[in-house]
Amino acid sequence: MALANKDSKILIVGGGGTIGSSTALHLARRGYTDIRLLDVFQNPSANSAGNDNNKIAGDDSAGIWGQLGTEAWKMWRTDPVFKDHSHNVGRLDLTSKEIREGRLRARYEGIVAEGRGDGVEWLDTKEAIVAKAPHLEKADLTGWKGLFVKNGGWVAAREALNSVGHELRRLGVKSAFGTAGTFDSLIFDEGDGRTVRGVRASDGTEWLGDLVIMAAGAYSPALIDLEDQCESKAWVYAHIQLTPEEAVELKGIPTMYNHELGFYMEPQPGTGVIKFCNEFGGLTNLTRIKPFGSSTEQLISVPRYHALNPTDTIPTEYVLEIQRLIEHCLPHLKGRELQNMAMCWCTDTKDMNWLMCQHPKFDRLVLATGDSGQTFKMFPVVGKQVADLIEGKLPEERKHLWQWRPQADDNGTGRGGERPKDLSEVEGWRHDPVVGEEPTSVLGAE
């Protein structure tokens, strides 16, 4: 059954971010006439995990995620809103650990079995890897194996978010930002406590609507009680400024991902900035908080967004890991100054599948979250799934995968590894200004 019609008033909380703005794009393209984005920041939201120079993307999976990845990469390459922001340089997905190799091999075989084998290659020698990525010639690649994905590479994330923002304004999508766009609570039919009628913003503004979509990314579990289905975590990045000559040398390299060390992409065209990320299980920021709909306080990981804490950098141990990645793969850049170090927040479900469903306790509330740190590559298509859910067209298999599932565990598809560390357990990232010299809040600046 459809949850809305083309004239319904639709409110999208987190509409300046990845899933929210993609949802607005698909609804607007389908002819929905009354959509309003609510967010702390104007699109591209400074709090969005997608507000970043670049992200890995490509047609690199099997099964449902393979179908979505194929469709997404096609849109990245052909849709006028996205196509100028994708770079088909290919991508490496490599490892030197047996367990990960098994997962990658299964993925490769799954893709081949689906008849898409011409898009991937299995690399199991140093020569095979260097043939794809000559810049790794001097690197120690002992034991490295994995996938080369032809239809993929990277996408200019912030530019793509911005492009969608422009398109939404052109299509007449409305918005509210700053404190008037910041979610505080749900409004219900009088005395009912169940039928959602809108959103109350943190400045008290009441936005009435027929359907509310909650796509607040890493903040979602702190805003609405998700019964422990999502845990928000930070990952980190650092930049190096290359000289024009160094940038030319690395231009067009395939996106390099190694599961133990981390990843990087070719330098950003125009600026010569190259971004590095180490790979780890994420960092929590456990805080006592009472999300809307919960009767008690819970210990929940709440994002500490960089835009609101601009003096934060990253924990020392991850600085060292990023330096290790650079030294291993690009030794000529060893010792170079790391700049713009920042944490960026995502929210993991236990099985790494989205949480995309109607809320079981609140009618007219749709959840569109649980990005699990891998949703930017799906930017062109994630909102299509939400639009299909709203129109009652989402295939059963997908509905099942993304349903409300507080009892579910990791199902073999989870992130695995050790429990994430908490920000309180790591050092080197906090550089709060001395009291009396605090920067003025950027909230309300919109």
Positions in the binding site for ligand FAD (CB under 6 A)? 13-14, 16-20, 38-41, 45, 47-50, 55-56, 181-183, 215-219, 223, 235, 237, 277, 344, 346, 369, 371, 373-377
Quote the least distance from Cβ 386 to ligand FAD, whole Å: 11
Quote the least distance from Cβ 429 to ligand FAD, whole Å: 14
Task: Output 103 or 126, the one with its CB closest to ligand FAD.
Answer: 103
- Convert 153-222 into a string of H (helix), E (strand) and C (coil): EEECHHHHHHHHHHHHHHCCCEEECHHHCCEEEEEECCCCCCEEEEEEECCCCEEECCEEEECCHHHHHH
Task: Output 45 or 285, the one with its CB closest to ligand FAD.
Answer: 45
Q: In 350-420, where do the E strands start and end?
A: 355-358, 365-369
Quote the least distance from Cβ 414 to ligand FAD, whole Å: 16
Residue 142 token pair? 């002992």
Distance CA 342, CA 239 (A): 10
Task: Output 66 or 373, the one with its CB closest to ligand FAD.
Answer: 373
Closest of 341, 342, 324 to residue 333, by C-alpha = 324
Quote the least distance from Cβ 85 to ligand FAD, whole Å: 13
Quote the least distance from Cβ 38 to ligand FAD, whole Å: 5
- Burial (CB < 10 A; 0-12, 13-18, 19+), residue 264, is buried
Helix, strand counts (H, E) of the chain: 10, 24
Task: Output 141 or 216, the one with its CB closest to ligand FAD.
Answer: 216
Quote the least distance from Cβ 222 to ligand FAD, whole Å: 8
- Cα Rg of the chain, angstroms: 22
- Residue 121's alpha-carbon distances to 54, 116, 124, 148, 388, in angstroms, are 24, 11, 10, 5, 33
Quote the least distance from Cβ 191 to ligand FAD, whole Å: 25
Distance CA 444, CA 446 (A): 5
Cβ-Cβ contacts under 8 Å for 217 (sequence gap 6 or more): 14, 17, 18, 19, 47, 48, 49, 303, 345, 346, 347, 369, 371
Cis amide prior to 254 (ω within 30 degrees)? no
Quote the least distance from Cβ 28 to ligand FAD, whole Å: 17
Rounded to the nearest 10 degrees, the angle between the axes of helix 379-390 and helix 157-170 is: 40
Residue sitting closest to ligand FAD (CB):
17
Quote the least distance from Cβ 44 to ligand FAD, whole Å: 8
Total residues belonging to the chain: 446
Rounded to the nearest 10 degrees, the angle between the axes of helix 157-170 and helix 18-29 is: 40
Task: Output 47 or 349, the one with its CB closest to ligand FAD.
Answer: 47
Task: Output 111 or 223, the one with its CB closest to ligand FAD.
Answer: 223
Task: Check residue 198 and give left, alpha or beta (phi > 0: left; psi -120 to 50: alpha).
Answer: left
- Residue 185's alpha-carbon distances to 98, 177, 198, in angstroms, are 47, 16, 9
Quote the least distance from Cβ 405 to ligand FAD, whole Å: 18
Q: Which amino acid is at 70?
A: T
Quote the least distance from Cβ 39 to ligand FAD, whole Å: 4
Task: Output 50 or 272, the one with its CB closest to ligand FAD.
Answer: 50
Closest of 206, 179, 278 to residue 11, by C-alpha = 206
Residue 121 token pair? 């290659």
Residue 129 token pair? 């890897």
Task: Output 77 or 126, the one with its CB closest to ligand FAD.
Answer: 77
Task: Output 130 or 442, the one with its CB closest to ligand FAD.
Answer: 442
Task: Output 2 or 445, the one with its CB closest to ligand FAD.
Answer: 445
Task: Output 237 or 362, the one with its CB closest to ligand FAD.
Answer: 237
Residue 290 token pair? 């009472």
